[in-house]
Amino acid sequence: MKAMQLKEPKPVEQAPLEMVELKEPRPGPKEVKIDVQACGVCHTDLHTVEGELSLPKLPIVPGHEVVGVVEESGDEAEHFEVGDRVGVTWLYSSCGECKFCRRGQENLCEDPMFTGLHADGGYEESMVAKEDFVYPIPKNISDEDAAPLLCAGVIGYRSLRLSEVKPGQRLGLFGFGASAHIVIQLATDMGCEVYVFTRSEEHRRLARELGSAWEGSAKDDPPHRIDSGITFAPVGWIVKEALRDLEKGGTLAINAIHMTPIPELDYDLIYHEKKLRSVANVTREDAEGFLKIAGDIPVQTEVETFPLEEANRALRLLKDSKINGAGVLKVS
């Protein structure tokens, strides 16, 4: 089978992913084999191929926004039938035994595995996944449109919850890529007034189409202070700008797995009981809850598709903020 594999991390401009032929995987106990149809292209993939994340496994096949069809079930696997359409997220598995797993915080598991980092992901024609970490895809959402939901959507949903924004309040979104363009739909469905901070005119246009109340850059002054905010851009300086716009008692959630250093902050920026929190990974509960909501609204994703062999080009465009919405590889 064909796969885009990383053997050594390099700047994406050097095309670090190589097209290779791999042996088709077989599912083990409580696993399913998935015929991959589409896989989203995520900033975490970019951090992986460029070596900004510690890489526990090389070579590795990236990709953790996977949509496909169940081809085969391993022993004791009983949740899905052959032909079921399913998705796989960043959380490949959790230990189920550490103190975090026992108290329902498996996103903080002390011995996790992540798709496309510890186990081969969706930049290949077939993959295996643990059936307890595989999710049915809403029938009213296509493969390509569903792919970004499995990371950008799920982590965006978690970020929205952790921002503590309430219906009718003002929410600021700093950066407007794959995740933010999904979050704005969840927030407007809640009745929130959404301000979007982005330099890209194309991203501002999309934000307006999706219901934003105001668009500007991170250094611009919005019409009013925001009650909650979420940063998506992996640059530390934007945290300082977001805190400047945050109302007293508000919460700023940082949606990033990797970020440049946050500059020194004046105490005034966090005084008046402002809260600053990171968002780390996702839980199965996040994925199940979000996918149901996404199907009910239904969430519309803006996608640009690429053939599997153009994964390097897709990542390069992502790095340069030249994808409007989300990039998706069409695998099968």
Give the list of residues 6+ apart from residue 124 with CB closer than 8 angstroms, or none: 1, 2, 3, 4, 5, 22, 36, 61, 63, 308, 331
Q: How far is CA 63 from CA 125, 127, 256, in A?
A: 12, 11, 17
Residue 224 identity (one-letter amino acid)? H
pLDDT above 70 covers what percent of the chain? 100
Q: pLDDT tens digits, residue range 212-264?
A: 999 999 999 999 999 999 999 889 999 999 999 999 999 999 998 889 999 99
H or E stretch covering 23: none
Per-residue pLDDT for 324 more than 90? no
* pLDDT attached to residue 13: 97
Residues 308 and 2 sit within 8 Å (Cβ to Cβ):
yes
Cα gap 240→247, rounded to integer Å? 14
pLDDT in the model for residue 20: 98
pLDDT, tens digit (0-9, with 9 covering 90-100), for 161-208: 999 999 999 999 999 988 999 999 999 999 999 999 999 999 999 999
In this predicted model, what pLDDT tens digit does every residue of 34-86 receive, in sequence order? 999 999 999 999 999 999 999 999 999 999 999 999 999 999 999 999 999 99
Domains recognised in the chain with CATH numbers: 2-151+282-330 (3.90.180.10), 154-278 (3.40.50.720)
Average pLDDT, the chain: 96
Question: pLDDT confidence of 321, banded at 50, 70, 90?
Answer: confident
